[in-house]
Amino acid sequence: MPADGPAGGENLLFLTDEQLRKGIEAMFFAYRGFTADPDRILEAKGYGRAHHRAVHFIHRSPGTTVNNLLSILGVTKQSLNRVLRTLIEDGLVRSKVGIRDKRERHLSLTESGLALEQQLSDAQRARMRDAYRRAGPDAVVGFRQVLEAMMDPEPRRRYTALRDGGQ
Amino acid sequence: MPADGPAGGENLLFLTDEQLRKGIEAMFFAYRGFTADPDRILEAKGYGRAHHRAVHFIHRSPGTTVNNLLSILGVTKQSLNRVLRTLIEDGLVRSKVGIRDKRERHLSLTESGLALEQQLSDAQRARMRDAYRRAGPDAVVGFRQVLEAMMDPEPRRRYTALRDGGQ
DNA sequence: GGAGAAAGTCAACAAAGCTGACGTAGTTCT
DNA sequence: AGAACTACGTCAGCTTTGTTGACTTTCTCC
């Protein structure tokens, strides 16, 4: 046992506090890089990260309801409403009264909304593509596995549902 | 060429827009999980994520100066100062006037500051450890590679310097 | 010794989160 | 038909954390 180190036989060096600390800091710095490009674009247009998230998820699920968006984003309706109102006023998002249930509002992107989404996701995908390319396919698989394991159960359920089914 | 798909020979399926979109969303949901546990602890004590970051990096580099911390965190000194002031008032952080240069303040954690840091990093490491364990060592290597490739150059330089040298 | 740079502090403002209360329209249950 | 519930929107007010601008103290260099 002494020869195998404190872990006692298995190779668990990747679970040391030091390794975990590095993972934590990597997550911090990487997330900042991940949001940096969209942040610059958004700032120039007077929007923030909250607008980006709304636009992204409306784009992914056109016709989604406010309530639906709320549970994906995990914010209060007052907070989302503030963002949504400016997006609708600026003509980037369309809100249509539901047919079956008229209490619901179905959200979708307008032409200019789609244009902004394109611009934002182009920038973010470029960053992601570059990282993927430099790290290689095997690393990408591992990357996704760890991220998925790090999510809370409910977002994970939501994520994996879209992961494979998403076209 | 048609048999190999549009990429033309290489296996670049992991670079499709759809794959990249999944990576982007995974990053979003995972980061939320990543910060969830510390956020709960902090909220109970009346602190926010900014306090966590300050405490973390002071812990990692005791005796660091305000300016140094500033460039790691990438915020304005006024913003950091507000956080630092409450931490000092509450007796979690110690600020010592520099000996060689009296303009500088050297920061370090007090006993109770260390206790909070411990509590926060325990929670965050537990989450990270669990994710690592479930994904396995190979996945962890890939995870770190992609994150590193996603950072902006300057944070990456700073990160890799600490990555291997850190104790 | 004086000019200017550097480190840190104070004040005031903005974005985006939160809670709580309330209104309105539409749906469902009894 | 009436009561209860749901979806959405809004007002008011608070917090955290980012910003810029103005200021003091301290050091460095000419």
Q: Which pLDDT tens digit goes with each residue over B3-34?
A: 444 444 467 878 899 999 999 999 999 999 99
How far from the centroid of its chain's Cα atoms is residue A58's Cα? 12
Q: Provide the mean pLDDT of chain B.
A: 91
Q: Which of residues 115-154 of A touch strand C (CB under 7 A)?
A: none
A95: closest CA of chain B, how far (Å): 24
Residue of chain B whose alpha carbon sits nearest to that of A30: B151
Could you give the percent of chain A with pLDDT greater than 70? Answer: 92
The tokens of B62 are what? 């005791």
What are the chain A neighbours of B130 within 8 Å (beta carbons)? 149
With CB atoms and an 8 Å threshold, state whether A30 touches B129. Answer: no
Out of B133, B144, B162, the one facing A15 most closely (by C-beta) is B133
Q: Which of residues 100-129 of B touch strand C (CB under 7 A)?
A: 101, 103-105
What are the chain A neighbours of B34 within 8 Å (beta carbons)? 24, 27, 150
Q: Which pLDDT tens digit goes with each residue over A140-158?
A: 999 999 999 999 999 999 9
- Mean local confidence (pLDDT), A92-108: 96
Report which DSSP code applies to B87: H
Q: What is the CA radius of gyration of chain A?
A: 20
Phi, psi dihedrals of residue B64, rounded to the nearest 5° = -65, 160
Query: Is residue A2 pLDDT above 60, yes or no?
Result: no
Name the pTM for this structure.
Answer: 0.91
DSSP B27-39: HHHHHHHHHHHHH
Give the bases of strand C that a protein CB approaches within 7 Å.
6-12, 15-21, 25-28
Out of B53, B139, B162, the one facing A142 most closely (by C-beta) is B139
- Mean local confidence (pLDDT), A20-39: 96
How far from the centroid of its chain's Cα atoms is residue A52's Cα? 10
Q: Within 10 A of A133 (CB to CB), how many other CB atoms are there?
A: 14
Report CA(B151)–C1'(C20) in Å, whole number.
41
Residue B161's pLDDT band (cuts 50, 70, 90): confident
Q: Provide the mean pLDDT of chain A.
A: 91
DSSP B140-163: HHHHHHHHHHHS-HHHHHHHHHHH
The nucleotide minimizing the C1' distance to residue B80's CA is: D17
Q: Which pLDDT tens digit goes with each residue over A119-133?
A: 999 999 999 999 999
Of all helices (H) and strands (E), which one includes residue A70?
Answer: helix A66-73
Out of A31, A134, A140, the one facing B14 most closely (by C-beta) is A140
pLDDT at B112: 95
Q: Which pLDDT tens digit goes with each residue over A32-70?
A: 999 999 999 999 999 999 999 999 999 999 999 999 999
Query: Is residue A9 pLDDT above 50, yes or no?
Result: no
Q: Which amino acid is at B25?
A: E
pLDDT at B7: 46
Distances (CA, A) of B166 to A20, A41, A99, A165, B158: 12, 35, 60, 42, 11
Residue A165's pLDDT band (cuts 50, 70, 90): low
CA B55-B56-B59 angle, to 5 degrees, is 80
DSSP A130-167: HHHHHH-HHHHHHHHHHHHHHS-HHHHHHHHHHHHH--
Q: Which amino acid is at B87?
A: L
